[in-house]
């Protein structure tokens, strides 16, 4: 029954996606990506909802709490929450930069501002590479969701099913799918986590759940955990809106004021998270025998929900993973065609983009199989690279006389250091590796620009004014 409901929902979403594609050709990519910069606050708000209620939230977050207690629970909630005030101040300026430079992607901003090909390539390539852990995050979650349905196959078979679903999804639905399907997905996902949270609370009683869980996990963090939690929140809050798939959402806004208004309300839809915390603590207290902490949420759902509802929950989770994978593929298209292969003829650009997307998905699946990871750790890994764009963004928005080669050096050194330390399991006394590398990055950008000042330094975006006449049609 659970599998039937699951498959029915997946097939239904495919039909919706397919129907959405009919009548639109692939050439209105720009129209779709930045929606001609006409979205009002309400739609922006919905795009934002889709960003945080994902498979990483629903399956990853309870798994993180199950494995590491409040340390992971707190940083996860904190970094998303603090990203909103950062966005309130920064996003209107990113939008303005997008207008000035007619940008569709993050590297477009660097290209438009510095007119430096090497910097554009550095940003493009590192952005793509650090999307691999994000892909791995989706596939890991998909496998957990399928496993929760009782599809008791080995990881390779489950990964293959997840891969086939993802490829079929992206091939059949094309670029318009995410927008249409994400509405179904948002409704399902929010319903699923509220229902599971309430079921857990009803089964045990909130006070009882946290008492039982308290026997397995500390309520307080030790000094190193506290440092990790604090530095991770700060570091990842700065990178939240620099994700390659988040930037185009900003460009869809109608105006800077629309963005500010939407940001005010964003923290409020985090009010669904307490339900997930309850579900996670329920799992903690039950002493389930889990093959991986990632299964904590699905284990609670399996134990608490009737079959048809379980199918719905799994479908919501799977759908969100598929939508994100489709969304990343969608965001990668222009990164490849506009920023990486802009010198090639259009037909070669398109086949290049297709090859890159397939390679990206394949690489994500291989990593999923070879290095099984706690889902929240994958989020950390992605930010190690993505947040390193922050000093460069500050240069575009606020600073004069920053040397683009100093930005390149900062990104490269920080990325290599962070990945190196991550692979070697270096422990910096709790401090988030990416945060330490960001400080090094900022010092390199600052010193590098002092030693060799940029000759023709462009005006920081914050001083630019967009007149109505200049706005893109």
Partner 1 sequence: MLRILIGLVLPFVGVIGLIPFTNGVTWTLWNIPFLYLWIFAWFILTSVCLAICWLCFDRHRPETA
Residue selected from 221, 247, 302, 408 as contacting partner 1 according to rule CB under 8 A: 221
Nearer to partner 1, 18 or 234 (CB): 234
Closest contact distance (angstroms) between CB of 131 and partner 1 is 27
Closest contact distance (angstroms) between CB of 461 and partner 1 is 12
Q: Which stretch binds partner 1 (CB under 8 A): 43-51, 148-156, 223-231, 323-331?
A: 223-231
CB 434 within 8 A of CB 384: yes
For residue 114, give every residue at least 6 positions away whose Cβ sits within 8 Å of its Cβ, in sequence order, or none: 396, 404, 407, 458
CB 125 within 8 A of CB 107: no
Answer yes or no whether residue 82 interacts with partner 1 by CB under 8 A: yes
Look up residue 108 and give its two tokens: 């477009």
Taking the C-alpha atoms of residue 151 and residue 47, their distance in angstroms, rounded to an integer, is 32
Closest contact distance (angstroms) between CB of 39 and partner 1 is 15
Q: State the alpha helices, DSSP H only, in 174-255.
A: 177-204, 206-214, 223-239, 247-251
Answer yes or no whether residue 89 interacts with partner 1 by CB under 8 A: yes
Q: State the alpha helices, DSSP H only, in 400-464.
A: 404-423, 433-451
Answer yes or no whether residue 463 interacts with partner 1 by CB under 8 A: no
Q: How many residues bind partner 1 (CB under 8 A)?
A: 49
CB 329 within 8 A of CB 311: no
Taking the C-alpha atoms of residue 228 and residue 435, their distance in angstroms, rounded to an integer, is 10
Interactions with partner 1, residue window 224-283 (CB under 8 A): 226, 229-230, 233-234, 255-257, 260-261, 263-268, 270-271, 273-274, 277
Closest contact distance (angstroms) between CB of 263 and partner 1 is 6
Q: Measuring CA to CA, how many Å separate 86 from each of 113, 176, 236, 242, 395?
A: 21, 29, 11, 11, 16
Taking the C-alpha atoms of residue 8 and residue 14, their distance in angstroms, rounded to an integer, is 10
Answer yes or no whether residue 215 interacts with partner 1 by CB under 8 A: no
Answer yes or no whether residue 42 interacts with partner 1 by CB under 8 A: no
Answer yes or no whether residue 36 interacts with partner 1 by CB under 8 A: no
Closest contact distance (angstroms) between CB of 213 and partner 1 is 8
Taking the C-alpha atoms of residue 120 and residue 105, their distance in angstroms, rounded to an integer, is 11
- Indicate the helix (H) or strand (E) that contains 378: helix 375-386
Nearer to partner 1, 121 or 464 (CB): 464
Q: Which stretch binds partner 1 (CB under 8 A): 141-149, 299-307, 308-316, 463-471?
A: 463-471
Answer yes or no whether residue 468 interacts with partner 1 by CB under 8 A: yes
Residue selected from 154, 219, 347, 456 as contacting partner 1 according to rule CB under 8 A: 219
For residue 342, give every residue at least 6 positions away whose Cβ sits within 8 Å of its Cβ, in sequence order, or none: 349
Task: Write out the residues near partner 1 by the rule CB under 8 A.
Answer: 70, 73-74, 77-78, 81-82, 84-86, 88-89, 96, 206-211, 214, 219-221, 226, 229-230, 233-234, 255-257, 260-261, 263-268, 270-271, 273-274, 277, 465-468, 471
């Amino acid at each position: 029954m659970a599998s039937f409901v699951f498959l029915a929902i997946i097939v239904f979403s495919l039909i919706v996606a397919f129907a959405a594609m009919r009548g639109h050709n692939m050439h209105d990519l720009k129209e779709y990506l930045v929606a001609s910069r006409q979205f009002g606050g309400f739609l922006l708000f919905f795009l934002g909802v889709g960003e945080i209620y994902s498979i990483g939230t629903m399956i990853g977050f309870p798994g993180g709490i199950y494995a590491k207690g409040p340390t992971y629970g707190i940083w996860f909630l904190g970094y998303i929450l603090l990203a909103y005030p950062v966005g309130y101040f920064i996003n209107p300026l990113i939008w303005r930069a997008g207008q000035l430079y007619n940008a569709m992607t993050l590297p477009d901003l660097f290209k438009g501002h510095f007119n430096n090909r090497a910097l554009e390539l550095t940003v493009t390539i590192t952005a793509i590479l650090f999307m691999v852990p994000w892909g791995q995050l989706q596939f890991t979650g998909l496998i957990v969701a399928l496993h929760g349905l009782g599809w008791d196959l080995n990881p390779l078979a489950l990964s293959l099913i997840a891969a086939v679903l993802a490829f079929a999804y992206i091939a059949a639905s094309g670029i318009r799918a995410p927008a249409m399907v994400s509405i179904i997905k948002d409704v399902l996902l929010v319903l699923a986590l509220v229902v599971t949270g309430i079921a857990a609370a009803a089964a045990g009683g909130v006070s009882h759940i946290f008492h039982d869980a308290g026997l397995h996990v500390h309520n307080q963090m030790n000094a190193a955990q506290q440092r990790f939690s604090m530095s991770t929140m700060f570091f990842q809050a700065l990178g939240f809106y620099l994700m390659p798939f988040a930037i185009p959402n900003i460009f869809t806004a109608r105006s800077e004021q629309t963005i500010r208004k939407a940001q005010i309300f964003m923290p409020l839809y985090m009010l669904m998270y307490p339900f997930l915390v309850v579900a996670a603590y329920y799992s903690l207290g039950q002493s389930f025998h889990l093959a991986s902490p990632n299964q904590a949420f699905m284990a609670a759902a399996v134990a608490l929900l009737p079959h048809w509802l379980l199918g719905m929950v799994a479908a919501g989770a799977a759908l969100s993973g598929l939508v994100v994978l489709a969304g990343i593929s969608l965001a990668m298209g222009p990164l490849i065609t506009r920023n990486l292969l802009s010198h090639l003829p259009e037909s070669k650009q398109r086949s290049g983009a297709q090859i890159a997307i397939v390679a990206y998905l394949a690489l994500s699946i291989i990593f999923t199989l070879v290095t099984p990871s706690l889902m929240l750790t994958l989020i950390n890994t992605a930010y190690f690279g993505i947040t390193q764009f922050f000093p460069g963004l500050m240069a575009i928005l606020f600073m004069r006389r920053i040397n683009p080669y100093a930005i390149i050096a900062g990104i490269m050194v920080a990325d290599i250091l962070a990945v190196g330390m991550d692979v070697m399991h270096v422990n910096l006394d709790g401090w988030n590796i990416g945060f330490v590398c960001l400080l090094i990055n900022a010092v390199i950008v600052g010193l590098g620009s002092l030693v060799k000042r940029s000759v023709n330094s462009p005006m920081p975006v914050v001083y630019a004014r967009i007149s109505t006449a200049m706005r893109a049609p």
